[in-house]
Amino acid sequence: MEAAAVGAAAVGAAAVEAAAGILAQALWPQRLDAGWQCVSTPAGACASPADLPTDGWLDALVPGTVASARRAAGVFDAAHPPPLAFDDHWYRLTLTGTGKRRLRLHGLATLAEVWLDGTKRLESDSMFVAHDLDIELHGSATLALCFRSLTPALTAKRTRARWRPRLVSPPGLRNLRTTLLGHMPGWCPPVQAVGPWRPVELLGDAPDAFDTVDIVSRLDGDDGIVSLTLRFVHPHDGAAHGASLHCGGFVSSLQWRDACTLTGSVRVPQAERWWPHTHGEPVLYPLTLQFDDGQATRHALGPVGFRSLDVDHGADGAGFTLRVNGVPVFCRGACWTSADLVTLTGSDEQLRHAFALAREAGMNMLRVGGTMVYESDAFYALADEYGILVWQDFALANFDYPTDAAFSASVDREACQFLVRTRRFASLAVLCGGSEADQQAAMLGLPAAMCTQALFTRQLPALAARERPDVPYVSNSPSGGALPFSTNAGITHYYGVGAYQRPLGDVRRAQVRFAAECLAFANVPDDATLHDAPGMLHAHDPRWKAAVPRDPGAGWDFDDVRDHYLQTLYGVEPARLRYEDPQRYLDLSRAVVAELMSDVFAEWRSAGSPCGGALVWQFQDLRPGAGWGLIDATGRPKSAWHGLAQTLQPVQLVMTDEGLNGLDIHLLNERAQPLEAQLELVCLRDGCIKVASASRAVALAPRSAQRIGAAECLGQFFDFTHAYRFGPRAHDVTIATLRDPASGRIVAEAFHLPQRRVSEAHDPGLTASVERAGDGWQLVVETKRFARFVHIIDAHYRAAHDWFHLPPNRPVAVPLIPSAQLVARASNPALNQALNANATCAIPAGEVRAINAISATFYG
């Protein structure tokens, strides 16, 4: 079967069940999930299944990996995983039935053999390629999958590399089509991908069994068009089997192209557009297939959406702003890693939890990078549902890749299958050749002519244009400037604020046009997570440092990066504070990251900024500890997530320090509806004494940004930024609030502190009380003086809103979410056990802190 057809097959049972929530039917491929066993042997010890041992077998779920089978059996040490990719591993399953069948293997990691009753039937050298194998059953047969050691392939001769990246070990992985996850020291745990990580299916039992389902949606003017190509396993009599395609109440008859292929299109007049959730509704239309068989049998094919995409490069041609349905969209979010490094997929609940948190934070894009894996159909279906755009790298990163025909053909097949498999999804927004390959060469000083690879400049763009012409293509991330990593043109990876320890003013000087990666910090989890994860209780423990990410060869890690800003912004000595007051060290570390995230995105979102989007490195941690993730290994948001959530909303107010020009207030309305609101401005001294205030009505047009000077709003001079320094500073904080004029409800709010340093703590008069809120609980927090970075700690709950500033005399109700809801989302068994122990929905009891409060306030 052709590669494209195999790719389309993934939209069969697995994808449709995930997208439409229906039970598998006899017409869909049969998932072979249960009944598997696996065993590991030394490399080369067993030439065939006849040589396999009789003992040592473990039960295994498929899709899955050797690591996930061992974890389920309780014999996998996630902290010290063995080098699984360098042994051999066997899976076996008994198949039953009679007649011809088609075996479909959606992904085998990585060097794999397929055996049936002791005969080798197929070999695979790419974990990213799906295979079909036609077989015939006569009662029962034994299916065996062998996953061979990578060692021989790593030494195979191929075209010579012009450079070797430090990121990946061993460097011979450039020759193999496998994920770099598990092979990046300092970046992620060495959990290596081995096993049938994608579904295994059996086709052909039912007379009308579906083979492949290929769905394409597009816009024709204001109308939406959905095209279906359905292939059956067995030939049909077209005259006896009519069919129709239904979409949103509109119907069209299908035609037989040949005895196995049914095809046709349905038009949806004046189709509602699919939008990222920040700019509208992610409208999806249910798609169903109906057979004219006398019973009008209908089959749900999952939802589809209609949208257009293009890129605005700006007047100078150096910009990058994604336009969805003709509207410029500021793309913001994070770089995806994996919902579960062990399975490489995660459960549907883990994925839904992640997308819910992304949407709640105001994110509208996730990037699946070249160092990761192509995600499951469920991932893209959830992106459609939640209105989250997906920036998709092909699974290529850093290397100077081989140029021989075999390697090119493998990448061609891999890319084609992926593009066909995912072309039904409206959320797929950018296709990117790969990550940091151009940058790697340029940073080694190679001339531009030696940096480019035909793989990225010719092969992949041609495939993308053929299979997904509706999605913009980018050759590499980063790329586009005088040097691939220039920040003021094209796509950049911005770590000026972050790894390079630049001052905040660098954010504006860098003139970032689009940051596909940015702002990497060792983000400290909350106390509840540190308590649940053994060995993570304080930053001096060697296990703490082992979980802190670092670049190979660097003399510093990302704890050091965070500590730099702790010292320069807050004026504390991190090392001394860490051993004198470790709890305060952790609280200030969390606060400074939240502040940096919020301030950088405020600059990039401000009116007049050239930036078209930015994605934080990374969305979630792959292991417990102070990793790059905005979400920790248990599924709890960290302070960085909360900082972003207060800056990324569709209707937003941000402030920028303009030095001698004072303070600018930026009002942002990404919605399609106009907004009328009341803008309030107040400056406080000692956290409670009003020294300046103003109020004015504002009107925001749809999809607009407006800049108002604070001095203009006040109508007189006031040293908002303490730039003139005529005497002592007159205020501690400026608060800008946008309210609905009818209800008084706060629509958006921003804070500016002219002095960031952490001065002596005092008693702000914080109070906290627990109240019932429907079937749950909420915490009402109030303060008499401005409270800076209020943080709520509860053993059994997490605060829906946390790490926020609180003005005086304004109570705020914070919903409390039971920790029990995190249990199914934590991929680490030790964390699951700890969370289960704390999962009882007791009456909330905990404490409220603020970084300018001398002591905690207890409740419950």
User: Cα separation of 775 and 783, whole Å?
Assistant: 27
Least confident span in 92-96, 189-193, 329-333, 544-548: 544-548
Q: Which fold has domain 652-752?
A: Immunoglobulin-like (2.60.40)
pLDDT at 142: 98
- Hey, is 267 helix, strand or coil? strand
Instruction: Give the strand pairing for 613-616 and 331-336.
Output: parallel
Q: Which fold has domain 210-304?
A: Immunoglobulin-like (2.60.40)
> To which H or E segment does residue 705 belong?
strand 704-709
Confidence class for position 538, pLDDT limits 50, 70, 90: low
- Hey, is 764 helix, strand or coil? coil
> To which H or E segment does residue 748 belong?
strand 746-752
Q: What is the pLDDT of residues 208-223, one digit of tens each?
A: 889 999 999 999 999 9
Phi, psi of 151, rounded to the nearest 5 degrees = -55, -50
User: Cα separation of 518 and 62, whole Å?
Assistant: 36
Peptide bond into 303 cis (omega under 30): no
Alpha helices in 291-429 (DSSP H): 348-360, 377-386, 405-422
Instruction: Give the strand pairing for 767-773 and 787-794.
Output: unpaired
Q: Which long-range contacts (CB under 8 A, 24 or more apart) does 765-770 make?
A: 766/790, 766/848, 766/850, 766/853, 766/857, 767/857, 768/792, 768/848, 768/857, 768/858, 768/859, 769/859, 770/843, 770/844, 770/845, 770/859, 770/860
Q: Is the pLDDT of residue 773 over 80?
A: yes
pLDDT at 607: 96
- The edge-to-edge listing of strands for the beta sheet with 767-773 is 767-773, 776-782, 812-818, 797-799
Residue with tokens 């920028």: 656
Q: What is the mean pLDDT of residues 608-637?
A: 95
- The edge-to-edge listing of strands for the beta sheet with 331-336 is 473-474, 428-432, 389-393, 365-368, 331-336, 613-616, 515-518, 492-494
Identify the burial level of 759 via C-beta atoms within 10 angstroms of its C-beta, where 0-12 means exposed, 13-18 middle and 19 or more buried.
Answer: exposed
Confidence class for position 855, pLDDT limits 50, 70, 90: very high
Domain boundaries along the sequence of the chain: 29-203, 210-304, 309-648, 652-752, 767-859
Q: Would 210-304 and 309-648 be classified into the same CATH topology?
A: no
> To which H or E segment does residue 652 belong?
strand 651-657
Least confident span in 17-31, 298-312, 595-609, 845-859: 17-31
* Cα 790 to chain centroid, rounded: 27
Largest Cα separation within the chain, whole Å, is: 93
Q: What is the pLDDT of residues 80-112, one digit of tens each?
A: 899 999 999 999 999 999 999 999 999 999 999
pLDDT at 531: 81
Q: Is the pLDDT of residue 176 over 60?
A: yes
Q: What is the pLDDT of residues 129-138, one digit of tens each?
A: 999 999 999 9
**Measured torsion, CA atoms of residues 610, 616, 617, 621, in degrees rounded to the nearest 10:** 180
User: Cα separation of 212 and 205, whole Å?
Assistant: 15
Q: What is the CATH superfamily name and number for domain 309-648? A: Glycosidases (3.20.20.80)
pLDDT at 729: 93
**487 within 8 A of 494, measured Cβ to Cβ:** yes
Q: Which fold has domain 767-859?
A: Immunoglobulin-like (2.60.40)
Q: What is the pLDDT of residues 650-673, one digit of tens each?
A: 999 999 999 999 999 999 999 999
What is the 8-class DSSP label of residue 604?
H
pTM for the whole thing? 0.95
Q: Counting runs of H as helices and runs of E as strands, what totals does the chain give?
A: 20, 42
Q: Is the pLDDT of residue 536 over 60?
A: no
Alpha helices in 433-541 (DSSP H): 437-443, 448-451, 454, 460-467, 506-509, 527-532
Q: What is the pLDDT of residues 353-399, one digit of tens each?
A: 999 999 999 999 999 999 999 999 999 999 999 999 999 999 999 99
Identify the burial level of 760 via C-beta atoms within 10 angstroms of its C-beta, where 0-12 means exposed, 13-18 middle and 19 or more buried.
Answer: exposed
Q: What is the pLDDT of residues 568-589, one digit of tens each?
A: 999 999 999 999 999 999 999 9
pLDDT at 240: 65
Q: Is the pLDDT of residue 443 over 70?
A: yes
- CA nearest to 128, candidates 366, 422, 334, 426: 422
> To which H or E segment does residue 137 belong?
strand 131-148
**1 within 8 A of 10, measured Cβ to Cβ:** no
pLDDT at 21: 36
User: Cα separation of 66 and 194, whole Å?
Assistant: 6
Peptide bond into 110 cis (omega under 30): yes
Q: Which fold has domain 29-203?
A: Jelly Rolls (2.60.120)
Confidence class for position 529, pLDDT limits 50, 70, 90: confident
Q: What is the pLDDT of residues 545-568, one digit of tens each?
A: 888 999 888 889 999 999 999 999
